[in-house]
Structure 1
Amino acid sequence: MKTLISLKDRDFIIEVVETSSNYGQIPGYICKCDGIQNELCDSLTAAVNSIYKKIFQTNAKYSGPVVMGFDIPIISEILLKDLSFCTFIFSLGKLNIWVLEIGKSNKNEWNFAGIGYKTSFMHTYQKQRCIYLQELNDDCCQVTIYL
Protein backbone atom coordinates (compact mmCIF):
# COMPACT_ATOMS: atom_id res chain seq x y z
CA MET A 1 0.00 0.00 0.00
CA LYS A 2 1.32 3.45 -0.90
CA THR A 3 -0.09 6.70 0.42
CA LEU A 4 0.67 10.30 -0.51
CA ILE A 5 0.50 12.83 2.31
CA SER A 6 1.42 16.50 2.48
CA LEU A 7 3.33 18.05 5.37
CA LYS A 8 4.42 21.70 5.18
CA ASP A 9 3.62 21.78 1.45
CA ARG A 10 5.91 18.81 0.74
CA ASP A 11 4.71 15.50 -0.64
CA PHE A 12 5.65 12.44 1.40
CA ILE A 13 5.07 8.96 0.02
CA ILE A 14 4.59 6.28 2.64
CA GLU A 15 4.85 2.67 1.57
CA VAL A 16 3.72 -0.21 3.76
CA VAL A 17 5.54 -3.41 2.87
CA GLU A 18 5.27 -6.94 4.18
CA THR A 19 8.34 -8.26 5.94
CA SER A 20 8.91 -11.37 7.97
CA SER A 21 10.28 -12.01 11.41
CA ASN A 22 10.76 -15.04 13.62
CA TYR A 23 7.09 -14.60 14.57
CA GLY A 24 5.54 -14.40 11.11
CA GLN A 25 4.60 -11.62 8.71
CA ILE A 26 4.84 -8.05 10.00
CA PRO A 27 4.50 -4.64 8.34
CA GLY A 28 7.47 -2.45 7.51
CA TYR A 29 7.38 1.23 6.55
CA ILE A 30 9.35 3.28 4.04
CA CYS A 31 8.94 7.04 3.66
CA LYS A 32 10.16 9.14 0.70
CA CYS A 33 10.22 12.88 0.07
CA ASP A 34 12.30 15.12 -2.22
CA GLY A 35 14.47 12.20 -3.33
CA ILE A 36 15.28 11.16 0.25
CA GLN A 37 14.24 7.70 1.41
CA ASN A 38 14.69 6.05 4.78
CA GLU A 39 15.65 2.48 5.54
CA LEU A 40 12.87 0.06 6.39
CA CYS A 41 11.32 1.14 9.71
CA ASP A 42 9.32 -0.98 12.12
CA SER A 43 6.87 1.82 12.88
CA LEU A 44 4.96 4.27 10.73
CA THR A 45 5.79 7.10 13.13
CA ALA A 46 9.55 6.42 12.93
CA ALA A 47 9.42 6.34 9.11
CA VAL A 48 7.66 9.71 8.82
CA ASN A 49 9.70 11.45 11.51
CA SER A 50 13.09 10.28 10.17
CA ILE A 51 12.48 11.82 6.73
CA TYR A 52 10.80 14.92 8.18
CA LYS A 53 13.85 15.53 10.36
CA LYS A 54 16.25 15.19 7.39
CA ILE A 55 14.26 17.62 5.25
CA PHE A 56 13.35 20.29 7.80
CA GLN A 57 16.23 19.84 10.30
CA THR A 58 13.79 19.84 13.20
CA ASN A 59 12.76 17.35 15.85
CA ALA A 60 9.02 17.86 15.32
CA LYS A 61 7.14 14.62 15.94
CA TYR A 62 4.17 13.34 13.99
CA SER A 63 2.00 10.35 14.79
CA GLY A 64 2.20 8.02 11.81
CA PRO A 65 -1.37 6.71 12.11
CA VAL A 66 -2.75 10.27 12.39
CA VAL A 67 -0.72 11.43 9.37
CA MET A 68 -2.19 8.50 7.39
CA GLY A 69 -5.69 9.58 8.39
CA PHE A 70 -6.52 6.57 10.55
CA ASP A 71 -8.20 8.94 13.02
CA ILE A 72 -10.70 10.04 10.35
CA PRO A 73 -13.81 7.86 10.73
CA ILE A 74 -14.55 7.40 7.02
CA ILE A 75 -10.99 6.20 6.32
CA SER A 76 -11.10 3.76 9.23
CA GLU A 77 -14.52 2.48 8.13
CA ILE A 78 -13.32 1.81 4.58
CA LEU A 79 -10.17 0.02 5.76
CA LEU A 80 -12.08 -2.11 8.27
CA LYS A 81 -15.29 -2.87 6.35
CA ASP A 82 -14.33 -6.39 5.21
CA LEU A 83 -12.71 -7.46 8.47
CA SER A 84 -14.62 -9.80 10.76
CA PHE A 85 -12.73 -8.47 13.80
CA CYS A 86 -10.55 -5.46 14.32
CA THR A 87 -8.16 -4.82 17.15
CA PHE A 88 -8.96 -2.32 19.84
CA ILE A 89 -6.33 0.01 21.21
CA PHE A 90 -6.48 1.84 24.49
CA SER A 91 -3.91 3.82 26.45
CA LEU A 92 -2.83 3.09 29.98
CA GLY A 93 -0.21 5.60 31.05
CA LYS A 94 2.56 5.45 28.47
CA LEU A 95 1.41 2.09 27.09
CA ASN A 96 -0.82 1.52 24.09
CA ILE A 97 -2.52 -1.81 24.71
CA TRP A 98 -3.87 -3.76 21.75
CA VAL A 99 -6.79 -6.14 22.30
CA LEU A 100 -6.20 -8.78 19.63
CA GLU A 101 -8.85 -11.37 20.46
CA ILE A 102 -11.82 -11.51 22.79
CA GLY A 103 -13.16 -14.55 24.58
CA LYS A 104 -15.80 -14.76 27.29
CA SER A 105 -16.39 -17.01 30.25
CA ASN A 106 -18.44 -17.35 33.42
CA LYS A 107 -15.35 -16.78 35.58
CA ASN A 108 -15.87 -13.75 37.78
CA GLU A 109 -12.20 -13.83 38.87
CA TRP A 110 -11.19 -13.31 35.22
CA ASN A 111 -13.64 -10.40 34.83
CA PHE A 112 -15.59 -12.75 32.53
CA ALA A 113 -12.78 -12.81 29.97
CA GLY A 114 -12.37 -16.21 28.39
CA ILE A 115 -10.15 -18.56 26.47
CA GLY A 116 -8.72 -16.85 23.42
CA TYR A 117 -8.51 -13.39 24.99
CA LYS A 118 -5.22 -11.78 23.86
CA THR A 119 -3.65 -8.40 24.43
CA SER A 120 -0.23 -7.02 23.59
CA PHE A 121 1.85 -3.94 24.10
CA MET A 122 5.37 -2.78 23.32
CA HIS A 123 7.77 -1.67 26.02
CA THR A 124 11.51 -1.15 26.31
CA TYR A 125 13.28 -3.71 28.49
CA GLN A 126 17.05 -3.51 28.99
CA LYS A 127 17.29 -0.93 26.17
CA GLN A 128 15.53 -3.26 23.72
CA ARG A 129 12.00 -2.93 22.33
CA CYS A 130 9.94 -5.96 23.31
CA ILE A 131 6.43 -7.15 22.57
CA TYR A 132 4.49 -8.45 25.55
CA LEU A 133 1.71 -10.87 24.64
CA GLN A 134 -0.89 -11.80 27.27
CA GLU A 135 -3.21 -14.76 26.63
CA LEU A 136 -5.90 -16.58 28.54
CA ASN A 137 -5.62 -20.34 28.06
CA ASP A 138 -7.67 -23.19 29.54
CA ASP A 139 -6.92 -22.42 33.17
CA CYS A 140 -4.22 -19.76 33.29
CA CYS A 141 -3.01 -16.44 32.02
CA GLN A 142 0.24 -16.61 30.07
CA VAL A 143 2.59 -13.70 29.36
CA THR A 144 5.17 -14.11 26.59
CA ILE A 145 7.90 -11.56 25.93
CA TYR A 146 9.30 -11.34 22.39
CA LEU A 147 12.69 -9.62 22.11
Structure 2
Amino acid sequence: MAPTLRVTLIKPGTIVPELHYGPYSFYWWIISNENETLFPIRLGQQTKVCFNEVDFILTIQTGSGNNKLMPMYCCQSGLHVVTEPSSTKAISTAYKNRFNTSTRYSDYQAMGWNDKNILETLKQDIQHIPITVNVENCIIFIYGIGTSSREKWRYAGSGFQSSLLHMYERKQSIFVSRIEEKKCIVEIYRESALIKQFKGAMPDEVWEKTGQLKKFTGTQLYGLDNPITKNLIQQHQTQCTLNDWNDEYILERLFDYHVKRRTLANANWKYFFTSWVKTENPIIELEPALHAIYPKGYEFSERELSA
Protein backbone atom coordinates (compact mmCIF):
# COMPACT_ATOMS: atom_id res chain seq x y z
CA MET A 1 0.00 0.00 0.00
CA ALA A 2 1.40 3.41 -1.01
CA PRO A 3 2.06 5.86 1.83
CA THR A 4 -0.27 8.82 2.36
CA LEU A 5 0.47 11.66 -0.03
CA ARG A 6 0.54 15.26 1.19
CA VAL A 7 0.36 17.77 -1.66
CA THR A 8 1.13 21.50 -1.55
CA LEU A 9 0.63 23.84 -4.50
CA ILE A 10 3.77 25.95 -4.91
CA LYS A 11 2.95 27.66 -8.22
CA PRO A 12 -0.35 27.53 -10.14
CA GLY A 13 1.37 27.93 -13.51
CA THR A 14 0.01 29.87 -16.47
CA ILE A 15 -2.44 29.54 -19.34
CA VAL A 16 -0.59 29.74 -22.66
CA PRO A 17 -2.89 30.43 -25.64
CA GLU A 18 -0.67 28.55 -28.10
CA LEU A 19 -0.92 25.44 -25.92
CA HIS A 20 -4.34 25.63 -24.27
CA TYR A 21 -6.18 26.96 -27.33
CA GLY A 22 -3.98 25.63 -30.11
CA PRO A 23 -3.80 22.44 -32.22
CA TYR A 24 -2.46 20.38 -29.31
CA SER A 25 -4.85 21.82 -26.73
CA PHE A 26 -6.50 18.42 -26.33
CA TYR A 27 -3.46 17.38 -24.28
CA TRP A 28 -3.55 20.47 -22.04
CA TRP A 29 -6.96 19.90 -20.44
CA ILE A 30 -8.11 17.12 -18.17
CA ILE A 31 -11.47 16.01 -16.80
CA SER A 32 -12.21 16.87 -13.19
CA ASN A 33 -13.17 13.91 -11.02
CA GLU A 34 -15.37 16.31 -9.07
CA ASN A 35 -17.89 17.39 -11.73
CA GLU A 36 -16.55 15.97 -15.01
CA THR A 37 -15.80 19.40 -16.48
CA LEU A 38 -12.42 20.19 -17.98
CA PHE A 39 -9.69 22.08 -16.17
CA PRO A 40 -6.29 23.14 -17.55
CA ILE A 41 -2.92 21.49 -17.19
CA ARG A 42 -1.12 24.77 -16.55
CA LEU A 43 2.41 25.29 -17.81
CA GLY A 44 4.72 25.78 -14.85
CA GLN A 45 2.33 24.35 -12.26
CA GLN A 46 4.46 23.15 -9.40
CA THR A 47 3.47 20.96 -6.49
CA LYS A 48 5.34 19.53 -3.56
CA VAL A 49 4.47 16.03 -2.43
CA CYS A 50 5.85 14.54 0.72
CA PHE A 51 6.07 10.96 1.86
CA ASN A 52 8.49 9.20 4.16
CA GLU A 53 9.41 12.75 5.28
CA VAL A 54 11.02 13.42 1.90
CA ASP A 55 9.90 16.17 -0.50
CA PHE A 56 9.36 15.60 -4.20
CA ILE A 57 8.82 18.65 -6.45
CA LEU A 58 6.71 18.16 -9.59
CA THR A 59 6.75 20.79 -12.35
CA ILE A 60 4.80 20.84 -15.60
CA GLN A 61 6.97 21.73 -18.58
CA THR A 62 6.81 21.45 -22.35
CA GLY A 63 8.66 18.76 -24.20
CA SER A 64 11.30 19.30 -26.86
CA GLY A 65 11.71 18.41 -30.51
CA ASN A 66 8.73 16.38 -31.73
CA ASN A 67 7.06 16.80 -28.33
CA LYS A 68 7.50 20.56 -27.95
CA LEU A 69 3.73 21.15 -27.81
CA MET A 70 3.08 18.38 -25.29
CA PRO A 71 3.09 18.57 -21.48
CA MET A 72 5.97 16.89 -19.66
CA TYR A 73 6.41 16.32 -15.93
CA CYS A 74 9.68 16.92 -14.12
CA CYS A 75 10.04 15.37 -10.67
CA GLN A 76 12.97 16.35 -8.46
CA SER A 77 13.96 15.01 -5.06
CA GLY A 78 17.40 16.00 -3.86
CA LEU A 79 19.83 15.16 -6.65
CA HIS A 80 17.34 12.87 -8.37
CA VAL A 81 15.63 14.48 -11.39
CA VAL A 82 13.24 12.63 -13.71
CA THR A 83 11.21 13.94 -16.67
CA GLU A 84 8.39 11.85 -18.09
CA PRO A 85 5.20 12.33 -20.19
CA SER A 86 3.04 11.61 -17.12
CA SER A 87 3.35 12.69 -13.50
CA THR A 88 2.56 9.13 -12.43
CA LYS A 89 5.63 7.79 -14.19
CA ALA A 90 7.79 10.74 -13.14
CA ILE A 91 7.09 10.43 -9.43
CA SER A 92 7.19 6.62 -9.48
CA THR A 93 10.62 6.65 -11.13
CA ALA A 94 11.97 9.36 -8.82
CA TYR A 95 10.61 7.48 -5.79
CA LYS A 96 12.31 4.27 -6.90
CA ASN A 97 15.59 6.09 -7.49
CA ARG A 98 15.39 7.66 -4.03
CA PHE A 99 14.23 4.70 -1.95
CA ASN A 100 15.10 1.75 -4.19
CA THR A 101 11.54 0.50 -3.93
CA SER A 102 8.38 0.94 -6.00
CA THR A 103 5.22 2.96 -5.45
CA ARG A 104 2.54 4.38 -7.70
CA TYR A 105 0.34 7.47 -7.58
CA SER A 106 -2.18 8.75 -10.10
CA ASP A 107 -1.72 12.06 -11.93
CA TYR A 108 -4.61 13.47 -9.89
CA GLN A 109 -2.95 12.62 -6.58
CA ALA A 110 0.55 13.77 -7.49
CA MET A 111 -0.53 17.11 -8.99
CA GLY A 112 -3.22 17.85 -6.41
CA TRP A 113 -5.95 17.60 -9.03
CA ASN A 114 -8.28 15.89 -6.57
CA ASP A 115 -7.90 18.73 -4.05
CA LYS A 116 -10.83 21.18 -4.27
CA ASN A 117 -8.79 24.17 -3.11
CA ILE A 118 -6.03 23.51 -5.64
CA LEU A 119 -8.59 23.00 -8.40
CA GLU A 120 -10.23 26.34 -7.65
CA THR A 121 -6.85 28.06 -8.00
CA LEU A 122 -6.11 26.29 -11.27
CA LYS A 123 -9.47 27.34 -12.74
CA GLN A 124 -8.73 31.06 -12.35
CA ASP A 125 -7.94 33.38 -15.28
CA ILE A 126 -9.36 31.01 -17.89
CA GLN A 127 -10.56 32.59 -21.14
CA HIS A 128 -13.06 29.81 -21.73
CA ILE A 129 -13.33 26.11 -21.00
CA PRO A 130 -13.31 23.72 -23.98
CA ILE A 131 -15.89 20.97 -24.30
CA THR A 132 -15.91 17.48 -25.75
CA VAL A 133 -18.68 15.90 -27.81
CA ASN A 134 -18.90 12.40 -29.21
CA VAL A 135 -19.58 11.27 -32.75
CA GLU A 136 -19.87 7.52 -32.20
CA ASN A 137 -16.34 6.52 -31.14
CA CYS A 138 -14.76 9.86 -32.15
CA ILE A 139 -14.16 12.42 -29.42
CA ILE A 140 -14.42 15.97 -30.80
CA PHE A 141 -12.55 18.52 -28.68
CA ILE A 142 -14.04 22.00 -29.21
CA TYR A 143 -11.68 24.70 -27.99
CA GLY A 144 -12.70 27.79 -29.95
CA ILE A 145 -16.12 29.34 -30.60
CA GLY A 146 -16.99 31.83 -33.32
CA THR A 147 -20.35 32.75 -34.81
CA SER A 148 -21.76 33.88 -38.14
CA SER A 149 -25.06 34.20 -39.99
CA ARG A 150 -24.36 31.10 -42.12
CA GLU A 151 -27.04 28.51 -41.52
CA LYS A 152 -25.10 25.81 -43.40
CA TRP A 153 -22.25 26.28 -40.93
CA ARG A 154 -24.78 25.84 -38.11
CA TYR A 155 -24.11 29.53 -37.36
CA ALA A 156 -20.48 28.84 -36.44
CA GLY A 157 -18.01 31.40 -37.71
CA SER A 158 -14.45 32.65 -37.73
CA GLY A 159 -12.65 31.48 -34.61
CA PHE A 160 -14.46 28.16 -34.33
CA GLN A 161 -11.91 25.38 -33.74
CA SER A 162 -12.15 21.71 -32.87
CA SER A 163 -9.87 18.71 -33.04
CA LEU A 164 -9.94 14.93 -33.02
CA LEU A 165 -7.38 12.14 -32.98
CA HIS A 166 -7.25 9.80 -35.96
CA MET A 167 -4.77 7.75 -37.95
CA TYR A 168 -3.27 9.39 -41.04
CA GLU A 169 -0.76 7.57 -43.18
CA ARG A 170 -0.82 4.84 -40.52
CA LYS A 171 0.30 7.20 -37.78
CA GLN A 172 -1.64 8.82 -34.94
CA SER A 173 -2.39 12.41 -35.92
CA ILE A 174 -4.42 15.41 -34.82
CA PHE A 175 -7.09 16.69 -37.20
CA VAL A 176 -7.95 20.33 -36.54
CA SER A 177 -11.21 21.66 -38.01
CA ARG A 178 -11.52 25.42 -38.01
CA ILE A 179 -13.29 28.33 -39.64
CA GLU A 180 -11.36 31.35 -40.81
CA GLU A 181 -13.37 34.22 -42.29
CA LYS A 182 -15.16 32.64 -45.29
CA LYS A 183 -13.17 29.39 -45.40
CA CYS A 184 -13.46 26.02 -43.71
CA ILE A 185 -10.06 24.49 -43.02
CA VAL A 186 -8.88 21.06 -41.88
CA GLU A 187 -5.27 20.72 -40.78
CA ILE A 188 -3.39 17.56 -39.88
CA TYR A 189 -0.66 17.70 -37.24
CA ARG A 190 1.86 15.12 -36.17
CA GLU A 191 4.94 15.40 -33.97
CA SER A 192 4.19 19.07 -33.22
CA ALA A 193 4.19 20.03 -36.90
CA LEU A 194 1.57 20.81 -39.55
CA ILE A 195 1.84 18.17 -42.27
CA LYS A 196 -1.27 18.75 -44.40
CA GLN A 197 -3.93 21.40 -44.95
CA PHE A 198 -7.26 21.32 -46.80
CA LYS A 199 -9.57 24.25 -47.58
CA GLY A 200 -13.18 24.42 -48.68
CA ALA A 201 -16.32 26.50 -48.54
CA MET A 202 -18.27 24.09 -46.32
CA PRO A 203 -17.41 21.67 -43.50
CA ASP A 204 -18.65 18.71 -45.56
CA GLU A 205 -16.62 19.76 -48.59
CA VAL A 206 -13.34 20.24 -46.77
CA TRP A 207 -13.59 16.97 -44.85
CA GLU A 208 -14.42 15.12 -48.06
CA LYS A 209 -11.11 16.38 -49.46
CA THR A 210 -9.21 14.68 -46.63
CA GLY A 211 -10.53 11.26 -47.63
CA GLN A 212 -10.80 10.34 -43.94
CA LEU A 213 -13.70 9.19 -41.75
CA LYS A 214 -16.00 9.00 -44.75
CA LYS A 215 -18.91 7.54 -42.79
CA PHE A 216 -19.41 10.93 -41.11
CA THR A 217 -20.25 14.33 -42.55
CA GLY A 218 -17.88 17.24 -42.15
CA THR A 219 -20.52 19.00 -40.08
CA GLN A 220 -20.44 16.08 -37.65
CA LEU A 221 -16.63 15.99 -37.56
CA TYR A 222 -16.49 19.71 -36.82
CA GLY A 223 -18.79 18.94 -33.87
CA LEU A 224 -21.45 21.30 -35.21
CA ASP A 225 -24.31 18.80 -35.21
CA ASN A 226 -24.17 18.23 -31.47
CA PRO A 227 -26.82 19.92 -29.26
CA ILE A 228 -24.12 21.01 -26.79
CA THR A 229 -22.22 22.82 -29.55
CA LYS A 230 -25.40 24.40 -30.90
CA ASN A 231 -26.25 25.71 -27.45
CA LEU A 232 -22.73 27.08 -27.00
CA ILE A 233 -22.90 28.91 -30.32
CA GLN A 234 -26.31 30.32 -29.43
CA GLN A 235 -24.95 31.61 -26.12
CA HIS A 236 -22.00 33.16 -27.91
CA GLN A 237 -24.35 34.95 -30.28
CA THR A 238 -25.79 36.90 -27.34
CA GLN A 239 -22.36 38.29 -26.43
CA CYS A 240 -19.99 40.56 -28.30
CA THR A 241 -16.68 42.36 -28.08
CA LEU A 242 -15.66 45.77 -29.38
CA ASN A 243 -14.53 44.12 -32.62
CA ASP A 244 -18.08 42.84 -33.19
CA TRP A 245 -19.68 46.30 -33.17
CA ASN A 246 -19.31 46.61 -36.94
CA ASP A 247 -20.99 43.25 -37.51
CA GLU A 248 -24.63 44.05 -38.23
CA TYR A 249 -25.72 40.43 -37.85
CA ILE A 250 -24.29 40.18 -34.33
CA LEU A 251 -25.77 43.53 -33.31
CA GLU A 252 -29.20 42.50 -34.58
CA ARG A 253 -29.01 39.26 -32.60
CA LEU A 254 -28.03 41.19 -29.48
CA PHE A 255 -30.80 43.73 -30.00
CA ASP A 256 -33.40 40.98 -30.43
CA TYR A 257 -32.15 39.13 -27.36
CA HIS A 258 -31.61 41.99 -24.90
CA VAL A 259 -33.54 45.06 -26.03
CA LYS A 260 -36.26 44.50 -28.62
CA ARG A 261 -39.07 43.58 -26.24
CA ARG A 262 -38.25 46.47 -23.93
CA THR A 263 -38.17 49.46 -26.25
CA LEU A 264 -39.10 50.96 -29.63
CA ALA A 265 -38.39 48.61 -32.50
CA ASN A 266 -37.36 51.42 -34.89
CA ALA A 267 -34.61 52.87 -32.67
CA ASN A 268 -31.31 53.02 -34.57
CA TRP A 269 -29.18 51.05 -32.16
CA LYS A 270 -26.59 50.32 -34.83
CA TYR A 271 -25.86 54.06 -35.03
CA PHE A 272 -25.52 54.16 -31.24
CA PHE A 273 -22.74 51.56 -31.27
CA THR A 274 -20.92 52.73 -34.40
CA SER A 275 -20.86 56.31 -33.08
CA TRP A 276 -19.58 55.15 -29.72
CA VAL A 277 -16.77 53.03 -31.19
CA LYS A 278 -15.56 56.02 -33.25
CA THR A 279 -15.25 58.34 -30.26
CA GLU A 280 -11.88 58.80 -28.59
CA ASN A 281 -13.43 58.80 -25.13
CA PRO A 282 -14.60 55.29 -24.12
CA ILE A 283 -16.99 56.80 -21.54
CA ILE A 284 -20.28 58.30 -22.71
CA GLU A 285 -23.29 59.87 -21.05
CA LEU A 286 -25.93 57.25 -21.67
CA GLU A 287 -29.17 59.24 -21.80
CA PRO A 288 -27.94 62.05 -24.13
CA ALA A 289 -26.51 59.39 -26.47
CA LEU A 290 -29.81 57.50 -26.46
CA HIS A 291 -31.82 60.66 -27.16
CA ALA A 292 -29.98 60.89 -30.49
CA ILE A 293 -31.58 57.66 -31.73
CA TYR A 294 -35.08 58.08 -30.24
CA PRO A 295 -37.94 60.43 -31.20
CA LYS A 296 -37.85 63.91 -29.69
CA GLY A 297 -39.47 64.03 -26.27
CA TYR A 298 -39.29 60.27 -25.75
CA GLU A 299 -39.16 59.33 -22.06
CA PHE A 300 -37.07 56.35 -21.07
CA SER A 301 -38.25 53.84 -18.51
CA GLU A 302 -35.96 52.11 -16.03
CA ARG A 303 -36.73 48.87 -17.87
CA GLU A 304 -35.26 50.25 -21.10
CA LEU A 305 -32.18 51.74 -19.48
CA SER A 306 -31.40 48.46 -17.72
CA ALA A 307 -31.54 46.58 -21.03
Alignment of 1:74-93 (within 5 A): 74-83=117-126, 85-90=127-132, 92=134
Shift of 1:116: 0.9
Q: 2:145 aligns with which of 98, 102, 109?
A: 102
In structure 2, C-alpha distance between the alignment counterparts of 1:35 and 1:95, rounded to whole Å: 43
Length, aligned pairs only: 143
Gaps of 5+ in 2: 1-43, 192-307
Change (3 A) 1:140 1:79: same
Calculate percent identity across the aligned residue pairs. 24
1:47 counterpart letter in structure 2: A
Asked whether 1:30 is paired with 2:74, we answer yes
Change (3 A) 1:17 1:126: same
More strand by share: 1
Shift of 1:120: 3.1
Partner residue of 1:47?
A: 90
- Contact 1:132/1:146 (CA < 8 Å) preserved in 2? no
More helix by share: 2
Gaps of 5+ in 1: none
In structure 2, C-alpha distance between the alignment counterparts of 1:8 and 1:126, rounded to whole Å: 48
TM-score, normalised via structure 2 length: 0.35
1:41 counterpart letter in structure 2: E
In structure 2, C-alpha distance between the alignment counterparts of 1:22 and 1:49, rounded to whole Å: 24
In structure 2, C-alpha distance between the alignment counterparts of 1:24 and 1:117, rounded to whole Å: 24
Partner residue of 2:47?
A: 3
Shift of 1:73: 4.7
Asked whether 1:139 is paired with 2:183, we answer yes
Change (3 A) 1:44 1:91: farther
Shift of 1:66: 5.6
Q: 1:15 aligns with which of 44, 59, 72?
A: 59
Q: Secondary structure at the match of 1:3?
A: strand
TM-score, normalised via structure 1 length: 0.60
1:134 counterpart letter in structure 2: S
Instruction: Give CA deviations for 1:38-79 in whole Å, capped at 9, x if unaligned.
Output: 2x3344455345546776546x572x2564233545433323
- Contact 2:63/2:70 (CA < 8 Å) preserved in 1? yes
Q: Secondary structure at the match of 2:183?
A: coil
2:184 counterpart letter in structure 1: C
Q: 1:118 aligns with which of 147, 155, 161?
A: 161
Q: CA RMSD in A?
A: 4.2
In structure 1, C-alpha distance between the alignment counterparts of 2:75 and 2:162, rounded to whole Å: 29
Instruction: Give CA deviations for 1:66-108 in whole Å, capped at 9, x if unaligned.
Output: 642335454333233233x134243748776543321122333
Shift of 1:15: 1.2
- Contact 2:87/2:110 (CA < 8 Å) preserved in 1? no
In structure 2, C-alpha distance between the alignment counterparts of 1:32 and 1:7, rounded to whole Å: 14
In structure 2, C-alpha distance between the alignment counterparts of 1:5 and 1:136, rounded to whole Å: 43
Q: Secondary structure at the match of 1:140?
A: strand
- Contact 1:87/1:98 (CA < 8 Å) preserved in 2? no
